[in-house]
A and B are shown apart, each in its own frame.
Chain A
Amino acid sequence: MNTGDSPLRVGPVLRAHGLEKEYGQGAGLVRALDGVDLEVASGETLAVMGPSGCGKSTLLHLLGGLERPSAGEVWLEGRRIDRVSEKALARVRRRAIGFVFQAFHLMDELTAVENVEMPALLAGRAPRAARRQAAELLEQVGLADRAEHLPSALSGGECQRVAIARALSNEPLVLLADEPTGNLDSAATLDVLRLLDSLRSAGQTLLIVTHDDRIAATADRLISMRDGAFVEETRLTHGTTGPLSELAGLEG
């Protein structure tokens, strides 16, 4: 499932080099990102944490082609995307990247299944195939029985799972999630956590920006940011239960 063991992997799915982003100018100049290098391997789940204003959302926006860097490069599956035309960038976002936001951004007047199938329809897929795929995705996120509900009839956690299903509908190379549980209570957070964990197990490449320790702990690798730069990186590998038994008070 994880990174290195796929024989097909030729390089990272997503790569950034020397990434910088500045907003404003003169005395009001803010350097949101200050020289970030990053590689995300195929099938890897990466969590990025840090205090508000550390640049983690900016990083996600640059990686997803929602904004362009002031300096540096962004490569997606071997193709540099930070300098392509607006039109080409929109195509990359539509076809290769899935976005999940804190505020869900579902269309209120569309049912759950209609929201989920929308990206496929926009990409030109036949309506019947798009509907079938959307129904499968809703099943995958555990909401098959909510397909015909409007977002207003769904809980926050359900809305976010619909949004995740929608983000998966173009079979993205990378799913980018910005504070996916920022608006959710702890029970709904747990549902989203289980879903993210199952996506990770299924080999979906994921980059999650989060404040939530439990969400971050689903990742294969964790990066902390401060003041626009990476300050700490840890591989959250699992293996022996040694440290775990110590934490449970079974040792010592």
Chain B
Amino acid sequence: MPEAVRVSSKEPSSGYQLRVVQEVLLALLAKEASHGYQLRARLQLALGPLAEALNAGHVYVTLNRLEKAGFVSSKRIGQADRPDRKVYELTAAGRARVMEWLEDTSWPKPAPAEFHLKLVAAAAAGLADPVRLVDMQRHELLAGLAAAQRAALAEPDGSVAGLLLEGVVLRLQADLRWLEACARHWNDTKGRS
């Protein structure tokens, strides 16, 4: 994400990083002011079984940082017999940041070059059989595919989290097709040598 204000670029080591959380939170606040619990529930719905990756405090920590950076403002609302609730609102700077993010077309890059070069190097050095390396890698990806597919099958029809899982499945399938081409190539090479 170029030019993103990395207000949460380094979180405490506990739990997973979710780099986009800050932008998502800003976008969720664009329509109306909201509080942390509600925002967290929206994220959980969108992520389904993957919401486990989101550690409980992450949303609150991120909101704090967004406030310090001037993207959101907050006010406390008193509640009977409970602690005050903090309600967050998007600032003009926050709104500008959301628009920038929504229209940003950068995309996570698949990285076949490293694996490709690993196979070339393995073959050249004679240290490992590239076909075997491909088989190992296929199994690794297939284990991921199995996990994603099971999670996808468990989602009800029309689930928004199911759409995310489908994305994982389709990307893994594409990678697996490429690995099959790698296996064919290095197997043929072996046959010729």
Contacts from A to B (Cβ < 8 Å): 51, 193-194, 197, 213-214, 216-219, 222, 224, 226, 231-234, 236-238, 240-245, 247-252
* Chain B window 25-54, contacts with chain A (Cβ cutoff 8 Å), 1 for yes, 0 for no: 000000000000000000000010110111
CA distance A237 to B147 in the complex (A): 8
CA distance A83 to B72 in the complex (A): 77
> Is B159 an interface residue, CB under 8 A from the partner?
no
For window 33-82 of chain B, which residues contact chain A by CB distance below 8 Å? Answer: 47, 49-50, 52-54
Inter-subunit contact B169/A214 (CB<8 Å): yes
From A252, which residue of chain B is reached at the shortest CB distance? B17
Among B143, B169, B173, the one with the most A-chain Cβ atoms within 10 Å of its Cβ is: B143
Query: How many interface residues does chain B have, given as a range?
Result: 35 or more
Residue of B144, B150, B164 near A243 (CB, 8 A) is: B144
**Top 4 A-B residue pairs of the complex, sorted by shortest distance between their CB atoms:** A245-B53, A236-B146, A217-B146, A234-B139
CA distance A117 to B185 in the complex (A): 46
Inter-subunit contact B131/A245 (CB<8 Å): no
Inter-subunit contact B50/A217 (CB<8 Å): no
Residue of A197, A240, A250 near B18 (CB, 8 A) is: A250
- Least Cβ–Cβ distance between B155 and chain A, in angstroms: 12
Q: Given A231-B132, A245-B50, A250-B47, do A224 and B187 touch, yes or no (CB 8 Å)?
A: no
Residues of A within 8 A of B112 (CB): none
* Chain B window 122-166, contacts with chain A (Cβ cutoff 8 Å), 1 for yes, 0 for no: 000000000110011011101111111111010000000000110
Among B132, B147, B151, B167, the one with the most A-chain Cβ atoms within 10 Å of its Cβ is: B147
Q: Given A214-B169, A243-B147, do A197 and B139 touch, yes or no (CB 8 Å)?
A: no
CA distance A214 to B52 in the complex (A): 24
Residues of B within 8 A of A193 (CB): 149
Q: Given A213-B173, A245-B50, A247-B172, do A236 and B143 touch, yes or no (CB 8 Å)?
A: yes
Residues of B within 8 A of A218 (CB): 146, 149
Residue of A226, A241, A249 near B131 (CB, 8 A) is: A226
Residues of A within 8 A of B172 (CB): 213, 247
CA distance A218 to B152 in the complex (A): 12
**Can you offer 30 A-B residue contacts whose CB atoms are under 8 A?**
A51-B183, A197-B150, A213-B173, A213-B176, A214-B169, A216-B142, A218-B146, A218-B149, A222-B142, A226-B187, A231-B132, A234-B139, A234-B143, A236-B142, A236-B146, A241-B49, A241-B53, A243-B144, A243-B147, A244-B144, A244-B151, A245-B52, A245-B53, A247-B144, A247-B172, A248-B167, A248-B168, A250-B54, A251-B16, A251-B18
Residues of A within 8 A of B16 (CB): 245, 250-251
Residue of A194, A197, A213, A244 near B142 (CB, 8 A) is: A213
Residue of B50, B146, B165, B184 near A238 (CB, 8 A) is: B146
CA distance A193 to B150 in the complex (A): 11
Question: DSSP majority for the B interface?
Answer: helix
From B153, which residue of chain A is reached at the shortest CB distance? A197
> Is B108 an interface residue, CB under 8 A from the partner?
yes
Inter-subunit contact B17/A251 (CB<8 Å): yes
CA distance A222 to B145 in the complex (A): 12
CA distance A238 to B145 in the complex (A): 10
Residues of A within 8 A of B144 (CB): 243-244, 247
- Least Cβ–Cβ distance between B47 and chain A, in angstroms: 7
Residues of B within 8 A of A234 (CB): 139-140, 142-143
Q: Given A222-B142, A226-B131, A250-B50, do A241 and B153 touch, yes or no (CB 8 Å)?
A: no
- Least Cβ–Cβ distance between A23 and chain B, in angstroms: 20
Q: Given A222-B142, A226-B131, A231-B135, do A51 and B149 touch, yes or no (CB 8 Å)?
A: no
Inter-subunit contact A214/B47 (CB<8 Å): no
CA distance A37 to B140 in the complex (A): 23
